Amino acid sequence: MKDHKAISDRKADHIALALKDSHQSAQGAGFDRLRFEPNPLPQMALEDIDHSSQFLNQPVAAPLLIGAMTGGCENGELINRHLAEAAQACQIPMALGSQRAALEQGTLQNARHWAPSALLLGNLGATQLQQQGLDLAQRAVDSVQANALVIHLNPLQELVQPNGDRDWNLVLEAIQNTVAKLEVPVIVKEVGAGIGPSTAKKLMDAGVSWIEVAGRGGTSWASIELARNQSQREQEIAAPFIDWGMDTVELLPAVHGACPTLNLIGSGGVRHGLDIARCIRLGAQMTALAQPFLAPALESTEAVIEKISILQEQLRWAMFLTGSRSLTDLRGAALAQLP
């Protein structure tokens, strides 16, 4: 029981800290260095633009998914309800936060009830998978009839977290086994330090076909966990790693170049629809935003719907201003990288 209370307290801390600007990377994810060549002759009407797409063989209104954010605490249920109802209303997929606590406590997971036909992605930590195996993965999927299972890799977060998992042996093997045996696709993500080409190749060899890059530049989990860590010694050890990782804008083209057949979700510091357009141009099929949905999710379903609508309109503007009628056109738009 004490463990469950500790997990629930930790999740509540995570939400409160993630809302603060001080735990967002100060330098950003590098998106501002990327400039589309303006096309002041779009030769189309704004309403001609179509940013709809396909994800996991289903139509989605835009190449955008609500990024994984943990439930498992008092506010978690409310946050998940607002996100799931908005996902359902907007035809946008939703990634659930870690299902570990709910599965261990046997708590009801209502996301499918709130989003009966939306694409819902389950979520587990890689070390839980390594410790508890396929059975846990299957239960995570079954409990919400998930369309895919997301496995998160967060070794830095675990190091900074008091009592975090330190044994990362056989994690790749656990992922490989899950990919081979689970009926739904497996997506592997980081949480804000990024997945680079070397790891992406290993994951691809293990059968993974989707990677969410989750690069540096948005929410900093080292910073959040450090704020919760009272040990002066551990604070001193962790300090140089506060900015660990690679920027999302560096990782996307690097992974796309090294593994052209791998499907990529651009994430980590994506903050508006112009960033979504930049990710698509850099080789992503989809994008994910987590922290920007947190404040609206605490407010209401309507606030989340409004956020999604603004993101879509910003993407539409970016497409209009580059003369891109479709996402395929956007992938060919001229882009310059500032020094």
Which residues form the interface with ligand FMN (CB under 6 A)? 14-15, 18, 67-70, 97-98, 123, 152, 189, 191-192, 214, 218-219, 267-270, 289-291, 294
- Look at the block and give the residue holding tokens 């980081």: 190
Nearer to ligand FMN, 79 or 321 (CB): 79
d(CA 198, CA 266): 17
Nearer to ligand FMN, 289 or 333 (CB): 289
Q: Which two tokens stand for residue 273?
A: 């629809």
At closest approach, how far in Å is the CB of 167 from ligand FMN? 19
Which has the closest alpha carbon to 223: 10, 22, 16?
22
At closest approach, how far in Å is the CB of 50 from ligand FMN? 25
225 by DSSP, 3-state: which? helix
At closest approach, how far in Å is the CB of 294 from ligand FMN? 6
Nearer to ligand FMN, 14 or 82 (CB): 14
Query: What single-letter DSSP state applies at residue 293?
Result: G
Query: What single-letter DSSP state applies at residue 215?
Result: -
Cα R_g (the chain), whole angstroms: 19
Nearer to ligand FMN, 75 or 300 (CB): 75
d(CA 165, CA 233): 18
At closest approach, how far in Å is the CB of 12 from ligand FMN? 10
Q: Which two tokens stand for residue 240?
A: 């140089």
Exposed, middle or buried, 223 (CB in 10 Å: 0-12/13-18/19+)? buried
At closest approach, how far in Å is the CB of 248 from ligand FMN? 8
Q: Is 57 left (phi over 0), alpha (psi -120 to 50) or beta?
A: left
CB-closest chain residue to ligand FMN: 218
At closest approach, how far in Å is the CB of 24 from ligand FMN? 7
Nearer to ligand FMN, 144 or 214 (CB): 214
- Look at the block and give the residue holding tokens 């008091």: 162
Count each helix (H run) and each strand (E run) in the chain, helices first: 15, 12
Torsion sign across C-alpha atoms 308, 313, 318, 320:
positive
At closest approach, how far in Å is the CB of 36 from ligand FMN? 21
At closest approach, how far in Å is the CB of 289 from ligand FMN? 5
Beta strands in 117-226 (DSSP E): 120-125, 148-152, 186-189, 210-212
Nearer to ligand FMN, 189 or 281 (CB): 189
Which has the closest alpha carbon to 70: 14, 1, 112?
14
Q: Angle at CA 247, nearest 5°, toward 284 and 150?
A: 55
